[in-house]
Structure 1
Amino acid sequence: MAGIKKAAVVAGVAVGLVVGAAGASSAAGFSGMTKEKYDRVQFGMSRQELMDIVGPTACEDNGKPVTAESTVPSFNCWVSGIEEWAPYAGFHFDESGKLTGKHHYRMELPTAPSMTAAQYKKVAVGMTEEQVRKTVGTNSCVVTDVAQSAFPSTAGATSTLACWTGKGTGFLAPQGWFWFKDGKVTDKHQRDVVK
């Protein structure tokens, strides 16, 4: 009897491993997004125009493939599989089906991050992006998201500038974020830049 129970447990574990592997494999199936494709996607595009650029295998919504015919307002497109902290891009469409926002996570990183706590503190509400970059180091930052909710009007346009210190660009590396509306800083936040 004990032998039968042990065999059933072993078989159950084996089935679980196979099912788990299949699940991981299908999740990893979403891939093909690149920074070059992200840059080509412009405000006002339809889902079809976006899919023509990105390709049919990159995008998903809650693990389900997104197509040009999908009506979900937002979805993600992955560089190489859905994994924790993996690079991806996200896109948002308005009710008429036009792209009004896009963002990316770790698809682009700064070339020479060097922002210091003193530089971070100098950034003030009302500064332009150019002023912020000059203050914290031009090669310390990348724009991670942009939106034009009133497209084609640029009124109320928003963006986020993410900046790193000289301690690297790893997931938990010290980082600062600057939020812009109509081209001016509205808020800022940091993690481990200023202690």
Structure 2
Amino acid sequence: MKLSEVESHMQKAVESTQRSFNTIRTGRANAAILDKITVEYYGTPSPLKTIAGISTPDATTILIQPYDRSSLSTIEKAISLSDVGLTPSNDGSVIRLNIPPLTSDRRKELVKIAAKYAEEGKVSVRNIRRDAIDSIRKQEKNSDISEDESRDSQDSIQKLTDKYVSKIDELLAEKEVDITTV
């Protein structure tokens, strides 16, 4: 496995962690919290953002405008059944989600969820490292590369791992500040 491939995989793991962080609400309206919601649309599960326009007209409201008005009730039901924790209000043409201020207990819970996502991201990066190092050791065992090349490659992979784990830690610190800021 080439070093550039390893770095690319680790970068994708960090991006995935960032997307997970975006689904955590922070007391401000953010359309990304609806990214994981799928709606049964004509018998097919579809992501909410493909069947409706989602906007944030102000800091405490998310506005969902379906492209097909007949899907309004199914969208409302999907949001109610999701783990977003918001109650949709339907006025016949759009759905509004009012973002209530977070309690301190809820903020603590959300920080724990963010920490869990960060740990999953770090585990993913470490798994990539493990696979890459196994590949290098196999090459060394087959005499494809020398012991020195093997050691150098393993050191490079460890440095990449440290770099991407610290990136995840930085993202977590930013998200914690977002969540705890009132």
Fold shared by both chains (TM-score > 0.5): no
Structure that is richer in helix per residue:
2
Q: Normalization by structure 2: what TM-score?
A: 0.23
TM-score for the superposition, normalised by structure 1: 0.22
Q: Give the structure with the higher percent strand.
A: 1
Higher RCO, 1 or 2 (CA under 8 Å, sep at least 6)?
2
